Structure 1
Amino acid sequence: MADNTPQNSIPENKEEHSSSTYLAIAFRSLRMLVYRTLRIQDNADPSDTIESIKVDIDFKGYNVWILIFSILIASIGLNVNSGAVVIGAMLISPLMGPILGVGLSLGINDWSTMKRSLQNFAVMFTVSIITSTVYFLLTPLVDAQSELLARTRPTLLDVIVAFIGGLAGILAANRKIKNNVVPGVAIATALMPPLCTAGYGIATGQWAFFFGAFYLFLINSIFISLATFLTVRFLAFPVKDFVDPERAKRARRYVFAVLLLIIVPSGFTFYQVVSESYLTRRVDQFVQENIFYDGAELVKKDFINNEDETHSLNLVFFGENIPLKVVDSWRQKLGNYNLENIEIKVVQPQSMEEMNSTEVNKLVDVFSKSQIELQTKEQTITQLRLALNQEMNLRLPIDQLMAELKVNHPRLYTIGMARMIELNEGGKDTLITTNLYWSLQDTLGLKPESEQIREWLKVRLNLDTVVLYNHIRLPKEEVNKPKALGRVN
């Protein structure tokens, strides 16, 4: 019986099987490489990490004084609007200890560490608020600078940075070989500036500053603790056991309650911040694409996000008064950006005294840019005027010349003039070429009359050389077009 199986089917199957095997081996090798690169359990030291975090929880003695000095330095930096000074203060601040302690105690079910962390967190907050409040009560500089204003309301980036910073902080603390990541986390999450801003709000009686800054500090702390808790659970830190089952159950309830107090506000805050960020982005897009008016400059934009969902967009202009119909046209465009519940208010100060320092500085910048643009335009206009004058000077007054020539030379029918560049061995010469069209039957006396016209043109146009060409325009019964007589030398 003949074998009908193709001879090349077995090699093809072997080749396909070899290719799939190689791909599987390559994928497995890549997966192992990624696993070994990202694995952190091998370099973890849970016991040492727990002890090091517990040591930094307590605020007493040196830690309190370091906190006071760092708060004073940060307050000065915020007061004089110096970011470098604020960063220097955050480098020496011991704020991270109790916050990491809260997340750690949640992760290992250690209620005693939880209580100690919360107590020291309260001590840290109280000392910071008192120190910053006393400083801002005594300082003669009371204006709210941009560094202070930036710490009055949390944004989506603040939440994300706090969470990622908490992850970095606990991972750095968990390494067998310690490094200086924790101070960097304190800088990135900006824990200290909100505390100083809260003190400024109390000292100046601006409670919106206090509550906004306190809320920002609390949100940063909560998300750092949440990141610490998740990391501790992921790395399987040893959970504390209780001999007494009732005590263990009670401790777990307490830990669970605190965990809910952290997670629920965190989720609500994240949703709220994301919604506000999206709304603010739409408002910025609306202002950028629609808010402009010739003769007036937008120097300030304030978007007030009210809790009752009736928001305000305050626009401060300097310059000409904006007509009401223009503002109404802006309001009609709000629906295109899903901003129907926003009320536009246009403010136009009539003097510099009605504007604050930030608005005045922006107005000065706008004025400086306008002056530069004006100077550039004036230079361009001057150049164009010079070019136009040169062109006007080169233009021949042929209509006026023809009128004057007709008076003294009635046989002259019309003239044609043009500037001509003549190349010779010495270079280039600019000549005036003139065509004289005569209406006559003979050329008697034409040459001296043409010479007289040439001399007159030289004087009239202030020229050295004038080239003349005579043309005879005969009567229609003799010829239908002029007869050229040639150049008059």
Structure 2
Amino acid sequence: MTTDSNTETNTPSPNPESHHPEHNPLAIAFRYVRKFLNQTLRIEGNAHPQDTIESIKADIDFQGYNVWILIFSILIASIGLNVNSGAVVIGAMLISPLMGPILGMGLSMGINDWATMKRSLRNFAIMFSVSIITSTIYFSLTPLVDAQSELLARTRPTLLDVFVAFIGGLAGILAANRRIKTNVVPGVAIATALMPPLCTAGYGLATGQWSFFMGAFYLFLINSIFISLATFVIVRFLNFPVKEFVDQVRAKRARRYIVAVILIIVVPSGYTFYNVVTESYFNRRVESFIAENVLYDGAELVKKEVLHEEGKETQINLVFFGEPIPAKIIDSWRSKLGAYNLEGSVLKVVQPQSMDQMNSEEVTKLVDVFSKSQLEIQDKDRTIAELKLALEGERRQHLPLQQIHKELQVMYPRLYSVSMARMVEFTEGATDTLMMAELKWNAPDTNGLDAECKTIGRWLEARLQVDTISVQRKLVMLKPMEVEVKGLKN
């Protein structure tokens, strides 16, 4: 069988449009996502450079009202730090005008406006001086001189503070760039904690603790510089109008100064952050070691502290109060330090035998432990008393009916049987429990039974220790043979 070579086949030809990017589902989805992200995250088209520049410049100067508002806010923040009240400190940061010169420095770097930079630096110095003097005067006069946790938290800046300041600065300049102003700028002042370091620095000067002053001043410097740096980045990113340097050598020198200042600030904070992380990890190992191994019946751990000193072994000091702990027990604790990577540490156990040998913190801890144990004992005593009452009530619920019947039959031979029960009565919204007694008599008539029933009722009230008993009587006529058999059984 032959076929014609010229016959056309039915094989479909490839469609060149099927692989075109416009018809590819992945390409369409990618374009849609890119368009959505561009519309959602784009900020360039919403920038208002001239309005932002004028707004920031208007807040730079510290004169008149701004100075007094700063003084009052510093006093409020100092009181909050002094009494360890975070809410008061936050309130002070909300009303403080600290952000103006800091945003001004970043703006001036971004647009090469060195006249604004000089003005910002001058007002920054005024702001810093007024704040330090105010807080120093307050802490010199206040009778409360103990360093609370709110103060101590501002003495060890780390790399995390750098991140917070930079990110907060980004939020601050973006908020300042909007036509409609929001509460973002005060929020940045709270998040970056500009005011508490100034108050803590004043506390260090007032009390002569230079480590407090240097740590707090360094934290304030970190916050200020990196808020300014964030402002500089956003200003350049949004293409604010820049004043060109006539002298390019001067421009390069200014950039080198900026980089040098950033490195000088970041490197020490990074080192501090590394030390804080290392110390936190070490303290967690110490806590695990104490929780899993340090225990002795009869002695209570009232204090634990870890002492890190440069160039010396780390000390783990444990203070116990109670019975003396044998040396072999303490040696067994020391032998387990290596299992927690604490082999380079020294474990010291202190056991004061009297209150006079303990400091105030240890005594307070001991009092807390004693108070807790006393409360637990009181709870147990209360539970025991409640159980006793419940047991006594249960005993009262059990009626010794057989014994009562025997006792009554000795006094009243005609009494055939005694039936008793408790009845719950509901009257006028309240419930009451009544005792019921039914007396069956082997008698031909009721002659004299009323008086005997009343006497038996009073006797049962005394016998069972109840307030009232309702007594009912019933006659039972028995045959002589039944009476005789009943008498034999009794």
Interval containing the TM-score (normalised by the shorter chain): 0.5 to 0.7
How far apart, in 2, do the equivalents of 1:41 and 1:361 lie? 60
Letter in 1 for 2:235: V
User: Which residue does 1:256 correspond to in 2?
Assistant: 256
The yes-or-no answer on 1:236 pairing with 2:270 is no
User: Which residue does 2:128 correspond to in 1?
Assistant: 125
SS of the aligned residue for 2:62 comes to: coil
Letter in 2 for 1:205: G
Normalised by the length of structure 1, the TM-score is: 0.67
SS of the aligned residue for 1:202 comes to: helix
TM superposition shift of 1:10: 6.1
TM superposition shift of 1:229: 2.7
Letter in 1 for 2:144: L
On the 8 A contact 1:296/1:322 being kept in 2, the answer is: yes
Gap change, CA 1:231 and 1:287, over 3 Å in 2: same
Further displaced range: 307-316 or 255-264: 307-316
Gap change, CA 1:30 and 1:186, over 3 Å in 2: same
On the 8 A contact 1:169/1:182 being kept in 2, the answer is: yes
- Alignment gaps of 5+ in structure 1: 389-425, 428-489
- What are the equivalent positions in structure 2 for 1:151-230 lying under 5 Å apart? 151-155=154-158, 157-230=160-233
TM superposition shift of 1:70: 0.7
The yes-or-no answer on 1:282 pairing with 2:285 is no
- What are the equivalent positions in structure 2 for 1:330-341 lying under 5 Å apart? 330-339=333-342, 341=344
On the 8 A contact 1:106/1:259 being kept in 2, the answer is: no
Q: 1:27 aligns with which of 30, 38, 43?
A: 30
User: Which residue does 2:102 correspond to in 1?
Assistant: 99
On the 8 A contact 1:163/1:226 being kept in 2, the answer is: yes
On the 8 A contact 2:156/2:272 being kept in 1, the answer is: no
User: Which residue does 1:434 correspond to in 2?
Assistant: none
- What are the equivalent positions in structure 2 for 1:39-118 lying under 5 Å apart? 39-118=42-121
Q: Cα RMSD between the aligned structures?
A: 4.0
TM superposition shift of 1:29: 0.6
- What are the equivalent positions in structure 2 for 1:306-385 lying under 5 Å apart? 306-308=309-311, 311-322=314-325, 329-339=332-342, 341-347=344-350, 350-351=354-355, 354-356=358-360, 362-375=365-378
* TM-superposition CA deviations, 1:138-162 (whole Å, max 9, x none): 1122222222222222245433322
On the 8 A contact 2:355/2:363 being kept in 1, the answer is: no
SS of the aligned residue for 1:54 comes to: helix
Further displaced range: 313-322 or 129-138: 313-322
User: Which residue does 1:293 correspond to in 2?
Assistant: 295
How far apart, in 2, do the equivalents of 1:10 and 1:165 lie? 57
Gap change, CA 1:144 and 1:272, over 3 Å in 2: closer
Letter in 2 for 1:293: L
How far apart, in 2, do the equivalents of 1:339 and 1:120 lie? 51
SS of the aligned residue for 1:34 comes to: helix
TM superposition shift of 1:219: 2.4
TM superposition shift of 1:206: 2.3
Q: Percent identity?
A: 65
How far apart, in 1, do the equivalents of 2:339 and 2:9 lie? 70
Letter in 2 for 1:88: G
TM superposition shift of 1:88: 1.1
Further displaced range: 160-169 or 280-289: 280-289
TM superposition shift of 1:325: 5.0
How far apart, in 1, do the equivalents of 2:228 and 2:340 lie? 37
Q: 2:153 aligns with which of 143, 150, 153?
A: 150
Further displaced range: 168-177 or 54-63: 54-63
How far apart, in 2, do the equivalents of 1:347 and 1:307 lie? 23
How far apart, in 2, do the equivalents of 1:301 and 1:117 lie? 48
Further displaced range: 67-76 or 92-101: 92-101
How far apart, in 1, do the equivalents of 2:23 and 2:349 lie? 69
How far apart, in 2, do the equivalents of 1:344 and 1:121 lie? 49
On the 8 A contact 1:111/1:255 being kept in 2, the answer is: no
TM superposition shift of 1:8: 8.5
How far apart, in 2, do the equivalents of 1:102 and 1:325 lie? 65
User: Which residue does 1:436 correspond to in 2?
Assistant: none
* TM-superposition CA deviations, 1:393-442 (whole Å, max 9, x none): xxxxxxxxxxxxxxxxxxxxxxxxxxxxxxxxx99xxxxxxxxxxxxxxx
How far apart, in 2, do the equivalents of 1:204 and 1:44 lie? 48
- Alignment gaps of 5+ in structure 2: 392-419, 422-490
Letter in 2 for 1:250: R
On the 8 A contact 1:109/1:255 being kept in 2, the answer is: no
SS of the aligned residue for 2:295 comes to: coil
TM superposition shift of 1:135: 0.8
SS of the aligned residue for 1:144 comes to: coil
Letter in 2 for 1:253: R
The yes-or-no answer on 1:265 pairing with 2:265 is yes
Letter in 1 for 2:295: Y
How far apart, in 1, do the equivalents of 2:312 and 2:24 lie? 61
- What are the equivalent positions in structure 2 for 1:435-446 lying under 5 Å apart? none
SS of the aligned residue for 1:193 comes to: helix
User: Which residue does 2:443 correspond to in 1?
Assistant: none
SS of the aligned residue for 1:238 comes to: coil
Letter in 2 for 1:152: T
TM superposition shift of 1:105: 2.7
Gap change, CA 1:196 and 1:76, over 3 Å in 2: same
Gap change, CA 1:168 and 1:302, over 3 Å in 2: farther
On the 8 A contact 1:309/1:341 being kept in 2, the answer is: no
Letter in 1 for 2:276: E
SS of the aligned residue for 1:143 comes to: coil
Letter in 2 for 1:198: A
Gap change, CA 1:367 and 1:35, over 3 Å in 2: farther
* TM-superposition CA deviations, 1:269-290 (whole Å, max 9, x none): 1343144224313322431343
* TM-superposition CA deviations, 1:101-146 (whole Å, max 9, x none): 2323333333333333233222222211111111111112222222
